[in-house]
C-alpha cells in the first residue's frame, strides 16, 4: 500500500500501523482518514496501532486518535493501541485528556491477544 | 546550543518548531524524560491556544535556560497581541472554554509544569510563562 501518510501492513484480517515522529496536525488528520478508509476498503476486523514511536501526544493528537478509534469501531472493527511510552502516559493523565475508551496493551503481542479477546466478546454480543 | 530560542507562532506547522525548541532546552537544562515530555506537551497546548484564540496576532515563544540555587531549568514565555482573556481565573479552571474545546489546555499545562503565570486583559494580549526545573 503506497501513497498513504503512514504505511499499513495487513496480516490476515488485521491491519498493523505504527505512528512515529513529531506529527503535525495536518498529518494526524490525514492518518485518521487514511486508516478509517483502509478499514472500510479491506473489511478488516481488527487494527493494531503502535504508538511507541510518538514521544509527544498533546490534547489534539489524543483527541484525533480517540475519534478515529470510535469511527473504526462503527465500521465493525476492533482497535488496540499499543506501546504508549510511560512518559506520554503520565503526561496525558496529568493533562486530563479523557482516553478511557481506548483499549490499550503494553506491546504488539499483548495487543494482538487483546484484539482477539475483543473480537470474541463482540461476536458473542452481536 | 544557543541559550535562547525565539519562535514565531502563526501557523499549525510552527507547533513542531515549538516542541523541538522545548525539547532542546529541556535537554540542555538536564531535565529527565518525563519532565521533558511534560514541558513539551504544556508548551504545545499554549501554542495551540495562540493559534486558536489569537490568530495572526504576533504570537511568539521565547524559551530560555534558567538557574537558581544550584538547579537548572527552562522558562518558556508565550506572548500574543490577541483579544486577551476577560476572566483569567475562569480560563485556568478545568472545563472552561469559549471556543467549544474541552477547556483543559491551560489548567492541564499548569499541572504539567512547576510554575505557570498567566497575565492578560481584554484588548491587551496574553502572556503565559511556564517553568520546569530539574529535580
Ligand atoms: N492566547 C489566548 N488568547 C485569548 N484567549 C485565550 C488564550 N488562551 C486561552 N484563552 C481563553 O481561555 C480559555 C481556556 O483555554 P484552554 O486552553 O484551557 O481551553 P480551550 O483551548 O478552550 O480548550 P482545549 O485546550 O481543551 O482545546 C479559552 O477557551 C479561551 O477563552
Ligand atoms: Mg486550549
- Report the CATH number at residue A57: 3.30.750.24
Q: How many domains does chain A have?
A: 1
Domains and CATH numbers, chain B: 4-133 (3.30.565.10)
Is A48 domain-assigned? yes
Interatomic CA distance for residues B101 and A63, integer angstroms: 11
Domain containing residue A34:
8-125
The Cα A26–Cα A21 span in angstroms is 14
CA-CA distance, B75 to A97, in Å (whole number)?
Answer: 24
Reference A115, options A68, A47, A65; nearest CA is A47
pLDDT-above-90 percentage for chain B: 96
| Placement of cell 496576532 in the chain | B57
- Is residue A7 classed as helix, strand or coil in its secondary structure? coil
Number of residues that make up chain A? 126
pLDDT band per the 50, 70, 90 thresholds, residue A2: low
Q: Alpha-carbon distance A97 to B95, whole Å?
A: 11
CB B75 within 8 Å of CB B46: no
Average pLDDT (B6-27) is 97
Kindly report the three-state secondary structure assignment for every residue of B55-100.
CCCCEEEEEEEEEECCEEEEEEEEEECCCCCCCHHHHCCCCCCCCC
Residue B16 in contact with partner chain A when CB distance is under 8 A: yes
Query: Which pLDDT tens digit goes with each residue over A6-35?
Result: 999 999 999 999 999 999 999 999 999 999
Closest ligand to B110 CA?
A: 1
Is residue A1 a part of any domain in this protein? no
A3 in any annotated domain = no
Question: Is A2 a domain residue?
Answer: no
**Chain segment A76-126, per-residue pLDDT in tens:** 999 999 999 999 999 999 999 988 889 999 999 999 999 999 999 988 887
Q: Is the pLDDT of residue B110 over 60?
A: yes
| Ramachandran angles phi, psi of A4, nearest 5° | -80, 165
A31 within some domain:
yes
Could you list which residues have their CB under 5 Å from ion ligand 2?
B 49, 105
Percent of chain B clearing pLDDT 70 (strictly above):
99
Tell which B residues from 32 to 91 touch A, by Cβ distance under 8 Å.
33-34, 36-38, 40-42, 44-45, 48
pLDDT digits (tens, 9 = 90+) for B57-100: 999 999 999 999 999 999 999 999 999 999 999 999 999 999 99
Q: Model-level pTM? A: 0.95
Amino acid at each position: 500500500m503506497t501513497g498513504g501518510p503512514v504505511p499499513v501492513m495487513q496480516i490476515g484480517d488485521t491491519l498493523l500501523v505504527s505512528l512515529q515522529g513529531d506529527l503535525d496536525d495536518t498529518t494526524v488528520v490525514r492518518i485518521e482518514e487514511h486508516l478509517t478508509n483502509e478499514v472500510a476498503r479491506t473489511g478488516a476486523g481488527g487494527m493494531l496501532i503502535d504508538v511507541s514511536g510518538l514521544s509527544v501526544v498533546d490534547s489534539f493528537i489524543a483527541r484525533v486518535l480517540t475519534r478515529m478509534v470510535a469511527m473504526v469501531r462503527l465500521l465493525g472493527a476492533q482497535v488496540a493501541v499499543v506501546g504508549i511510552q510511560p512518559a506520554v502516559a503520565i503526561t496525558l493523565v496529568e493533562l486530563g485528556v479523557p482516553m478511557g475508551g481506548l483499549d490499550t496493551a503494553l506491546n504488539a503481542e499483548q495487543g494482538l491477544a487483546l484484539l482477539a479477546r475483543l473480537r470474541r466478546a463482540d461476536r458473542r454480543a452481536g | 546550543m544557543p541559550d535562547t530560542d525565539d519562535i514565531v507562532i502563526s501557523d499549525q506547522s510552527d507547533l513542531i518548531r515549538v516542541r523541538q525548541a522545548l525539547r532542546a532546552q529541556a535537554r540542555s537544562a538536564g531535565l529527565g524524560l518525563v519532565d521533558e515530555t511534560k514541558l513539551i506537551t504544556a508548551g504545545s497546548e499554549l501554542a495551540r491556544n495562540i493559534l486558536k484564540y489569537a490568530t495572526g496576532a504576533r504570537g511568539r515563544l521565547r524559551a530560555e535556560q534558567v538557574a537558581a540555587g544550584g538547579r537548572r531549568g527552562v522558562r518558556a514565555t508565550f506572548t500574543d497581541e490577541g483579544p486577551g482573556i476577560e476572566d483569567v481565573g475562569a480560563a485556568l479552571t478545568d472545563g472552561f472554554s469559549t471556543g467549544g474545546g474541552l477547556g483543559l489546555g491551560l489548567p492541564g499545562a499548569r499541572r504539567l509544569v512547576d510554575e505557570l503565570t498567566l497575565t492578560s486583559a481584554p484588548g491587551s494580549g496574553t502572556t503565559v510563562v511556564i517553568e520546569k526545573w530539574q529535580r
